[in-house]
């Protein structure tokens, strides 16, 4: 499954489709060889690809199957670390779904609350398994969900915990993602200059890592910041911030010239 992981990390649409093909083929082989639990362990991987492709409906179907399989396995072997790790991953992916899906109008709050419940279950599993890197990723997800619920203080606390742990672990990918989430928090807190600074830090991490998919998410975040800072175009009041934004944009473009530009699901090109 190394090839599927490489394609997933590349993150462009053709690579994601190849990752799905690899995972589907491996799942069929495992089923045919009488290894249903091992085959089920690929359901989360397939769901993660569908989430990135912008297909939450298929992701939910796969995650529901995964949860059923591994909850049954947990009843038979409650302390099996592999089973508990799969359940942790399933709940974390379920927690992330509302961050990528189009939600029914008026039901956003309920969706984010349910997602937080899944994140807390994942947090408990990862704490019990001493999986600290994954724990930091869950805290980042919690921060994003709290922010969507408008609870900026709780969001800040979660994101700061994630950043501290990720710095300690040297988790460059986690730091880049959490820095991008921190930019969203700072913008919501009325600090667009600090938000741009945080996003510039995330871009720098992704350039250092050589991560075109990370830079693609930075590009999306930067477009959102541009719209928030100057929804009607440049004015004397926002000229300074837009100047800073253009410098950050130039940093991003330099990174994408070096490592390539990935087109995310829903984008043209």
Please state the pTM of the whole predicted model: 0.85
Residue/partner pairs of 81-84 with CB below 8 Å, 24 or more apart: 81/129, 82/41, 84/125, 84/128, 84/129
pLDDT over 60 at 13, yes or no: yes
Rounded distance between C-alpha atoms, residue 197 and residue 77, angstroms: 47
The model's confidence at residue 269, banded by pLDDT at 50, 70 and 90, is very low
Question: Is the pLDDT assigned to residue 96 strictly greater than 50?
Answer: yes
State the residue for tokens 């298929």.
58
CB-based contacts of 61-68 (< 8 A; 24+ apart in sequence):
63/90, 63/93, 63/94, 63/97, 65/40, 66/40, 66/90, 67/91, 67/94
165-202 pLDDT, tens per residue? Answer: 998 998 877 887 888 899 889 988 889 999 999 899 88
pLDDT (average), residues 133-139 = 97
Give the pLDDT confidence score for residue 129 in this predicted structure: 97
Q: What is the mean pLDDT of the chain?
A: 88
């Amino acid at each position: 499954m190394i090839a599927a992981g490489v394609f997933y990390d590349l993150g462009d649409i053709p690579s994601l489709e190849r990752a799905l093909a690899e995972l589907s083929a491996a799942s069929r082989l495992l089923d045919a060889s009488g290894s249903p639990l091992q085959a089920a362990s690929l359901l989360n991987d397939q769901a993660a690809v569908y989430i990135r492709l912008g297909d939450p409906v298929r992701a939910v179907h796969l995650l529901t199957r995964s949860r059923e399989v591994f909850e049954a396995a947990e009843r038979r072997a409650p302390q099996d670390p592999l089973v508990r790790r799969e359940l942790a991953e399933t709940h974390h992916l379920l927690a992330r779904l509302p961050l990528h899906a189009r939600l029914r109008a008026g039901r956003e709050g309920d969706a984010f609350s349910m997602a937080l419940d899944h994140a807390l279950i994942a947090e408990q599993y990862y704490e019990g398994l001493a999986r600290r890197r994954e724990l930091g990723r869950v805290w980042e997800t919690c921060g994003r969900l709290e922010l969507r619920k408008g609870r900026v203080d709780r969001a800040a606390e979660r994101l700061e915990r994630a950043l501290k742990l990720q710095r300690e672990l040297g988790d460059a990918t986690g730091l880049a993602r959490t820095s991008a989430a921190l930019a969203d928090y700072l913008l919501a807190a009325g600090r667009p200059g600090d938000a741009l600074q945080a996003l510039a830090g995330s871009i720098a991490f992704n350039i250092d890592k050589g991560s075109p998919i990370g830079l693609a998410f930075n590009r999306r975040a930067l477009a959102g910041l541009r719209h928030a800072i100057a929804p009607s175009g440049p004015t004397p009041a926002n000229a300074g911030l837009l100047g800073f934004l253009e410098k950050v944009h130039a940093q991003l473009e330099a990174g994408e010239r070096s490592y390539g530009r990935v087109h995310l699901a829903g984008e043209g090109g």
